[in-house]
Amino acid sequence: MNDTAIIYEFPLNERIRVFIRLEQLFLQFQHHLQGKTVADKRAALMVFFDIIAIFKRNDLKSEVLKEIERHSSVLNKLIASASDNVDTQKVQAILESLGETSQRLYAMNGKIGSHLNDDDLFESITQRSVIPGGTCSFDLPEFHYWLSQDDEVCLNDFIQWSQPFNRVFSAIERILDFIRGSSLVTQEIALEGFFQLALDTSLPNQLIVVSLAKSQPYFVEISGGKHRCSIRFMNPAQGKQRPSQTVQNVPFSLSRCVF
């Protein structure tokens, strides 16, 4: 990410929306796993519970496989076009990588996360975590003991608990990298803080990305769907004053991710 700009992403379909939510959670999870304190271990567990909740609400293995199939279809058409602008060897390597990822997902048997049902410690933590402050030492002495173990012991448990989820997330990471890498970047100006973008529905629009210089004193609100998107540049709230759209013209970078 550009340190001189703030990036705002807006997914244009539910599948990509879920993928990006999971990406954010996994990045938080991985960050907390590097910590050495009891607070870090607790934070990692809370994020992991959110990851599990998303997996329970979505058939993510199926969604990822469908997205891989869609990507493979697009890439095969590129090779078939025999265009001089297409690096056939590079595209073929990507196709092989997608095929290997797909095979690893197909090899995963059973419902993702079912292995956690056999872990008594994890089950007890899960049940008590829905109660505010419900995982104190007097509520779960075994959990209190686990938190006091060496970092390596706790990390190994985290790896075992999260391994099936990580396999799916690795595929999601690859998909999001392809989509973000397919972007067409233009420099735009939002007149009086407003910009409307019409989308070509014949194209597989996946993601809109707005990049705004940190020096600009605004945040970005994006709304819309598969036909058009509206982008507003907002003055942050000050005191009792609510956020409001700026009346200034705002230069920004716009990326349309089509893959």
pLDDT-derived band of residue 182, with 50, 70 and 90 as boundaries? confident
Q: What pLDDT is attached to residue 258?
A: 86
pLDDT single digits (tens) 57-96: 889 999 999 999 988 888 888 777 766 666 778 888 888 8
Residue 98 in this model has a pLDDT that exceeds 90: no
Q: What pLDDT is attached to residue 79?
A: 79
Dist. CA 151–CA 41, nearest whole Å: 9
Dist. CA 33–CA 151, nearest whole Å: 9
Q: What is the pTM of this model?
A: 0.89
Q: What pLDDT is attached to residue 84?
A: 61
Among 2-6, 102-106, 141-145, 178-182, which stretch is predicted with the lowest mean pLDDT? 2-6
Query: Vertex 182, ends 178 and 184: CA angle to 5°?
Result: 160
Dist. CA 90–CA 101, nearest whole Å: 17
pLDDT single digits (tens) 140-177: 999 999 999 999 999 999 999 999 999 899 999 989 99
Among 27, 151, 189, which residue's Cα sits nearest to residue 197? 189
Q: What pLDDT is attached to residue 219?
A: 97
Among 9-13, 89-93, 188-192, 199-203, which stretch is predicted with the lowest mean pLDDT? 89-93
In residues, how long is the chain? 259
The enclosing H or E element of 44 equals: helix 38-57
Residue 3 in this model has a pLDDT that exceeds 80: no
Among 167-171, 216-220, 224-228, which stretch is predicted with the lowest mean pLDDT? 224-228
- All structural domains of the chain: 14-180 (1.10.3900.10), 183-258 (2.60.440.10)
Q: What pLDDT is attached to residue 82?
A: 63
What is the chain's percent helix, strand, coil content, to nearest 5?
Answer: 50, 20, 25
Q: What pLDDT is attached to residue 80?
A: 79
Among 173-187, 205-219, 244-258, which stretch is predicted with the lowest mean pLDDT? 173-187
Residue 1 in this model has a pLDDT that exceeds 50: no
DSSP state of 236: P
Rounded mean pLDDT of 207-219? 95
Q: What pLDDT is attached to residue 94?
A: 84
